Structure 1
Amino acid sequence: MKREAKHLAFGLRLRDARKAAGLTGPELAEKAGVSPQAYQQWEAGITMPRGAERQQTIARIVGKTINELFFDEPAPPPSMFPVRVWDDMPDESDYIFLPELQIERDGAQAVGWMVDIDGKRQAYPRSLAERLGIDPEAAAVMTMGDQSMAPRLQEGDLLVVECTPVEVITDGLVYVVLLEGEMQVRRLFKEFGDVRITCDSQDKARFRDRTVPEEKMGYVQIVGQVKGTCGAV
């Protein structure tokens, strides 16, 4: 009976999220790649979607995170999307659970970073992590704080960052860097020993590109590479 009640609660959340997204049941079914009959069973609380990737897809379609839609989490605070680990979580083995990447501050200045291994964690599909080459032991999540990498990354997106030492920069990849008291998400390029730090945004007056000379790279701390996004994007 406990599981049936959970199915019914999920069906209600799914219905409300679908309506809020302006979709009909058949439209959502088509976007999710399932039959209308299968979708009707979800919304009626008879069954639930199985598989981490399908759950991720459905949550994205209705603008929710997996945690909000499937585990009934409240709306997340700006700094972090929390997760509650349920003893009877569906397909728990299909997920990895990533800690939060936090900024260490001295007043308003960011002076370092840490991974909060004791805090709440974000569910992420294991199969997707394997496909993207994400190391679960080194990965953490952080919230995109501005529009500097739009349109690819939007403010509020939850990013998966692999926090490992970066010995060699790979041209064109996106990294998290600590520079001049700020944690920034930027695309990096090598230029004859120097490093060009760029934003995808076309608003260069607000988000300027810059080149850091090789002899000044000691002032740039590369936290890790952005390997993917998580939740509603």
Structure 2
Amino acid sequence: METVATRLKLARENAGLNLSEAAKKLNLSPSAVHQWESGTTAPRKKALEAAAKIYNVSPVWLNHGENPSFGAPIVPWEHPSELTDDFVFVARCDIRVSAGNGIVVYDECEQDEPQSFRLSWLKKMGMNPDNVRVVYAHGNSMAPGINEGDSLTIDTSRRDVKSSHVYVIRIEDEVSVKRLFKRPGGGLEVQSDNKDHPTRQFTAEESQNIEIIGEVMHKQSTRI
């Protein structure tokens, strides 16, 4: 059943924000935003209106589920004829990207079961459909923002590291999703959002062996 909590989570994800980014814009802690989305606490009127403004949705829809003012970027479909011209297909890659200690790549992208996206949303996010792929998270090292089974929309053209952004990376035969930070001298810091997982630091020379597959632009959660 749809609730204020589930609508808050959906609106945040459609805005392309993770918990930390949304919390920063709302002047809250990530745990406070997570409590809203889990239904543990409920935002007051002013906080709800602030969230609606940041997520670019109607506060009436957030509160009551009426008059939605946005379209979800990822849309379920059974046959292409159900989709309008505002939709494009993106390759769904059957790679489970580790949000843990890293997993071995074992499959390629499946072209016969693509994901449908709103073209208008991709343009708003500055993404070319040809560079977009969907992969799946495995593990809990990026929790609570990214969890087991979440689908991640990545832009494979965005490979220049911007500190604190989240990327899908390959180190040798292991592919994982991590938050990256630039280090003085050209090195990289590879960080997990889950503090139970250690941060790894690489020199400029070692960083040459890290392949940036793409930046994570959106997350679709399988959890309620």
**Residues in 2 aligned to 1:126 and 1:219: alpha-carbon distance in whole angstroms:** 34
Distance 1:169 1:202, change over 3 A: same
1:163 matched to 2:156? The reply is: yes
> Equivalent residue of 1:150, what SS?
coil
- Segments ≥4 residues shifted beyond 4 Å: 27-31, 111-114
Does residue 110 of the first structure (1) align with residue 104 of the second (2)?
Answer: yes
Structure 2: unaligned runs, 5 residues or longer = 7-59, 97-101
Q: Quick one: which amino acid aligns to residue 96 of structure 1? A: V
Q: Aligned pair 1:217/2:210, yes or no?
A: no
**Maintained 8 Å contact 1:140/1:162:** yes
**Kept after mapping to 2: 8 A contact 1:164/1:224:** yes
Deviation of residue 111 (structure 1)?
A: 5.7
CA distance in 2, matches of 1:132, 1:165: 12
The aligned counterpart of 1:100 is: 92
Equivalent in 80, 83, 86 of residue 86 of structure 1: 80
Indicate yes or no: 2:201 matched with 1:208.
no
Q: Find 1:195's aligned residue among 175, 188, 191.
A: 188
CA apart distance, 1:212: 1.2
Q: Which residue matches 1:3?
A: none
Instruction: State the alpha-carbon separation in 1 of the partners of residues 213 and 180 from structure 2.
Output: 13
Q: Deviations over 1:41-93 (max 9, x none)?
A: xxxxxxxx9x9x44x39xxxxxxx732xxx3xxxxxxxxxxxx4332x14x22
Aligned-partner SS, 1:177? strand
TM-score normalised by structure 1 residue count: 0.58
1:184 and 2:176 aligned:
yes
Identity %: 23
8 Å contact 1:110–1:178 — kept in the other structure?
no
Q: Which position in structure 2 is the counterpart of 1:46? A: none
Larger radius of gyration: 1
**Structure 2 equivalent of residue 40 of structure 1:** none
Closer, same or farther: CA 201–231 of 1 in aligned 2, 3 Å: closer
Q: Any unmatched runs of 5+ in structure 1?
A: 1-16, 35-48, 58-64, 72-83
Aligned residue number for residue 66 of structure 1? 75
Amino acid at match of 2:118: P
Q: TM-score, normalised by structure 2?
A: 0.60
Describe the superposition over 1:110-159 as per-residue Cα deviations: whole angstroms up to 9, x where unpaired: 3687544x321111222222221121111010011122212222221111
Residues 230/125 of structure 1: CA separation in 2 closer, same or farther (3 Å cut): farther
State the alpha-carbon separation in 2 of the partners of residues 231 and 31 from structure 1: 22
* Aligned length, in residue pairs: 164
Please give the alpha-carbon distance, in whole angstroms, between the structure 2 residues aligned to 1:109 and 1:146: 10
CA contact (8 A) 1:100 1:141 kept: yes
| Aligned mate of 2:133, from 134, 140, 145 | 140
User: Aligned partners of 1:138, 1:224: CA distance in 2, in Å?
Assistant: 9
1:124 matched residue in structure 2: 117
Q: CA RMSD in A?
A: 3.5
Q: Residue type of the partner of 1:185?
A: V
Cα contact 2:170–2:211 (8 A) shared by 1: yes
Residues 172 and 97 of structure 1: is their aligned pair in 2 closer, same or farther, counting only changes over 3 Å? same
Query: For 2:157, what is the secondary structure of its paired residue?
Result: coil
109 and 155 in structure 1: CA distance in 2 versus 1, 3 angstrom threshold: closer
